Amino acid sequence: MLGIPYLSTYLKRVIQIQAVSDTVDRLNYYVTSYMLAFFAFAISCKQYFGSPIQCWTPKEFSGTWDRYAENYCFIANSYHVPMEHELPTDPTERDDQISYYRWVPIVLALQAVMFYMPNYLWNSILAHTAINPVDFLTEAERIKKFHGKEREQEIEHLASNYLDAVSVFQRPRKFSQNTQARSGRNAVYLYLMTKALYFINLVVQIWLVDRFLGGKFISWGMININNIVTNSSMADGSVFPRVIYCDFLVRRLADVHRYTVQCVIMMNMINEKVYLLLYIWFMMLFVLTAVNFFYYCAMLLLPFMRHRLLLIGSDDPKGRRKGLSKYRSRFVNECAMPDGVLLLQFVKEHVGGRIAYELTTKILALYTSDGMSSFKAYSDTTSENEKHPLSEKSSPSRFFGNGGANAPPYEERDTLKLEMVQLNDGVHIPLVGLGTSGADVGRLEETLRTAFKCGYRLVDTAVVYGNHAAIGEALQKVLPEISLAREEVTVVTKVQLGKENCAKVVEDQVRKALFDLRLEYIDVVLIHYPTYATLDDEAENYSGNKEIRLEGYKTLLKLRDLGLIKSVGVSNFEAIHLAEFEAHGLAMPTMNQVEYHPLFLRTDLIQYCRMKNIFFQAFSSLANFRPDLADSEILKEIMGRTGRQRTGILLSFATSQGIGVIPKSNTPIRIETNFEEAYKTLSIDDINALKLLNKYSEGSVVKRCRGWKCC
């Protein structure tokens, strides 16, 4: 509290940020209460310990009489007469007109208490509801400290506790007449009542201040706001006069003398600024509180709004998984109820969107009795063959970081737009992303806008691409424009190792990337190459490559623990390089981004990655349309039989095996087509036929990635 002794400590004990409240709540009970308490303290210091009033007294008054006159005029009657008017001769016209300033500190303190009361009532009664949000949010906050399997276990434990808490809504006690106590709406009704009290309190406060200032607060505030906007002077001093007059009697011997003195109320300069600030604040808070109240009413009382809120917080924000809609509807309407949805909203508000996303996904998975973090309740649409990894007698399955978790074929799943992959540290990323290598920087904003509208939720970039700043600027504009939260978008970038002082080189790149991308954290950061340069003989044969790989990787793990990175992976790494991390007791990378297409199969590397639970993501999936692939008879035959284009077939070649892809394009129609085609399934026969085109290292279209042989 601006260094004021004792007051700050006292207020922190009385006015605290509560665990269960949203931003508008905190503006009411915390910010406003603090503001009013500070104003009350500051004005009382001036009033009781300073010189709130100074009077111009007759010459015959001594110092003692001067102090008497000032003290009397401060506590007794006073009145205001404009300088251009004469003093009234009738004593009744000089009745006490200006007296409110003596009560300003007390009224402000009372207002601070009134603003805090709705929150006090909310927290007092909250313990009697079926849910226990305070303890739940405390546990959710604790999850931030965990990573990998520990984080996943904590998420699952919290999800189980959530389902236990809301299960009472489905099973009312027998012989109980108090069915409302377990209706699943008590906390919601209480919370909406609290928000209504905030609004009512604000209306009462505005009325109270208006009465306190003689019915002039609202009109006075509007006039002065207009004067400020038009650069005019403040309104006249009838509400907060600087100069007042005071009458008092003095007995001298047998005579009684009446004196009229002119006084300056210096504290009214402070009062005027305080109440003008309060006027602006109250009007702003009035609008915010009203909008917030009606928003929560709609969000928590209308079933379709609750369902929409749950979708946004899950791994299927567009609600495209047709096979899962009945589970979500049943969960929202019969299990979670409004109280459960409110609890998840509190998690998002207080703990963050990432935890809320992981928790919601796990809750839905547990509710459908699937038990997997990646929500795969497709029992109605998935054939028996699709429940096994890729084999000669089964349909292709998708790799979810566990060596072959399955997903239903495209034709049976109603155009799934956002299939999530669970990495080995519990982080989820989309299977299909947007590549930005070689992207037109001047068109990146429009490119991302088109991609996000199509359904893309992953953007892949790198330090060497030189487009971080353009992507950051585009994200700032596009995300709010199409109502996407930061947590709904995965940003992947790649950094290079340093030949010397590698730790500093890597950390500097990450911090600069955060600055350029305008992000608080980056979802996934990869080491771009297993050596300090793209590829040349000197770099490939550099004897210190192993040391800088370990140093750079440890640096990224440290930055992950600091919260600057969510997940750490690599790019262009061979199995021999990945094994180094395991040999040194380090957590394995979460993903490996490598060139992959029918001309350049990486079968051994893929098998190693799956064995070590490392997600395999492909770049250059289209092989730059090399003639020996694009014009091959095998590809032409598949195109003629399926009616699909080259691009779609080559993207499906990877995704049907559970391999991620990051196609790139600057053309809107191509961006949309790539996304749609990537999720279509290619048959096992067509996949095996395309694999016959493999040319091993000679098939690489990016020569530096022909299979890294560096030591």
4-18, 80-94, 388-402, 619-633 — most confident range? 619-633
pLDDT bin (cut points 50, 70, 90) of residue 517 is very high
Question: With contact defined as beta carbons under 8 Å apart, do 590 and 427 qualify?
Answer: yes
Which residues, other chains included, contact 553 with Cβ-Cβ below 8 Å and sequence gap of 6+?
A: 527, 568, 570, 581, 586, 589
Q: Please tell me the total count of domains within the chain.
A: 3
Q: What is the pLDDT of residue 444?
A: 93
Question: With contact defined as beta carbons under 8 Å apart, do 31 and 39 qualify?
Answer: no
Residue 430 belongs to a domain with what CATH number? Answer: 3.20.20.100
Beta strand segments in 560-601, E: 565-571, 591-595
Single-letter code of the amino acid located at 682: L
Segment 647-662 shows an average pLDDT of: 94
CA distance 241 to 82: 9
Q: Is residue 122 pLDDT above 60, yes or no?
A: yes
Question: With contact defined as beta carbons under 8 Å apart, do 649 and 639 qualify?
Answer: yes
Q: Is residue 197 pLDDT above 90, yes or no?
A: yes
Q: Across all residues in the chain, what is the average pLDDT?
A: 78
Segment 406-413 shows an average pLDDT of: 37
Q: What is the pLDDT of residue 624?
A: 82
CA distance 352 to 488: 12
* Domain shared by 484 and 588, yes or no: yes
* Domain shared by 434 and 573, yes or no: yes
* Domain shared by 356 and 474, yes or no: no
Q: Is residue 424 pLDDT above 80, yes or no?
A: yes
87-91, 395-399, 706-710 — most confident range? 87-91
Q: Is residue 414 part of a domain?
A: no
Q: What is the pLDDT of residues 474-498, one digit of tens each?
A: 999 999 999 999 999 999 999 999 9
> If DSSP codes are grouped into helix, strand and coil, which group holds residue 543?
coil
* Domain shared by 199 and 59, yes or no: yes
* Domain shared by 16 and 51, yes or no: yes
Q: Is residue 61 part of a domain?
A: yes
Higher-confidence residue of 560 and 370: namely 560
Q: Closest Cα partner for 461 from 519, 419, 505?
A: 519
| Phi, psi dihedral angles at 378 (to 5 degrees) | -120, 30
Burial string for 432-449 (b: 16+ CB within 10 Å, else e) reads bbbbbeebebeebbebbb
Residue 201 belongs to a domain with what CATH number? Answer: 1.20.1440
Q: What is the pLDDT of residue 546?
A: 92
Q: Is residue 168 pLDDT above 90, yes or no?
A: no
Question: With contact defined as beta carbons under 8 Å apart, do 478 and 452 qualify?
Answer: yes
Higher-confidence residue of 127 and 30: namely 30
* Domain shared by 121 and 86, yes or no: yes
Q: What is the pLDDT of residue 256?
A: 77
CA distance 547 to 386: 43
Which residues, other chains included, contact 636 with Cβ-Cβ below 8 Å and sequence gap of 6+?
A: none
Q: Is residue 391 pLDDT above 50, yes or no?
A: no
Which residues, other chains included, contact 641 with Cβ-Cβ below 8 Å and sequence gap of 6+?
A: none
Higher-confidence residue of 182 and 115: namely 115
pLDDT bin (cut points 50, 70, 90) of residue 415 is very low
Segment 119-123 shows an average pLDDT of: 85
Q: What is the pLDDT of residues 327-337, one digit of tens each?
A: 566 666 666 67
pLDDT bin (cut points 50, 70, 90) of residue 319 is very low
Q: Is residue 395 part of a domain?
A: no
pLDDT bin (cut points 50, 70, 90) of residue 438 is confident
Supply 115's token pair: 């603003």
Q: Is residue 42 part of a domain?
A: yes
Q: Is residue 383 part of a domain?
A: no
Residue finishing a domain among 237, 259, 292: 292
Segment 643-653 shows an average pLDDT of: 93
In the block, tokens 């195109």 appear at 639
* Domain shared by 564 and 679, yes or no: yes
Q: What is the pLDDT of residue 233?
A: 63
Higher-confidence residue of 159 and 662: namely 662
Alpha helices, DSSP H only, in 483-596?
502-517, 537-540, 545-561, 575-583
Q: What is the pLDDT of residue 410?
A: 33
* Domain shared by 221 and 327, yes or no: no
Residue finishing a domain among 264, 292, 320: 292
Question: With contact defined as beta carbons under 8 Å apart, do 689 and 636 qualify?
Answer: no
Low-confidence winner among 66-70, 167-171, 614-618, 649-653 (lowest mean pLDDT): 167-171
Higher-confidence residue of 633 and 701: namely 633
How many CB atoms are located within 10 Å of the residue 633 CB? 8
Element (H or E) spanning 691, and its range?
Answer: helix 684-691
Q: Is residue 295 pLDDT above 60, yes or no?
A: yes
Segment 72-82 shows an average pLDDT of: 70
Residue finishing a domain among 268, 292, 316: 292
Structural domain for 122, as ranges: 7-129+190-292
Q: What is the pLDDT of residue 378?
A: 32
Q: What is the pLDDT of residue 707?
A: 55
Q: What is the pLDDT of residue 183?
A: 55
Q: Is residue 413 part of a domain?
A: no
* Domain shared by 114 and 48, yes or no: yes
Supply 244's token pair: 């007042």
Q: Is residue 544 part of a domain?
A: yes
Q: Is residue 175 pLDDT above 50, yes or no?
A: no
Q: What is the pLDDT of residue 147?
A: 81
Q: Is residue 104 part of a domain?
A: yes
15-19, 373-377, 500-504 — most confident range? 500-504
Q: What is the pLDDT of residue 494?
A: 97
Supply 394's token pair: 């089964």
Single-letter code of the amino acid located at 225: I
In the block, tokens 């003093």 appear at 87
Q: What is the pLDDT of residue 537?
A: 58
* Domain shared by 346 and 486, yes or no: no
Segment 464-481 shows an average pLDDT of: 95
> If DSSP codes are grouped into helix, strand and coil, which group holds residue 13?
helix
DSSP 100: G
- Work out the percent of the chain whose per-residue pLDDT is above 70: 74
pLDDT bin (cut points 50, 70, 90) of residue 348 is confident
- Work out the percent of the chain whose per-residue pLDDT is above 90: 36
Higher-confidence residue of 61 and 511: namely 511
* Domain shared by 510 and 491, yes or no: yes
* Domain shared by 445 and 502, yes or no: yes
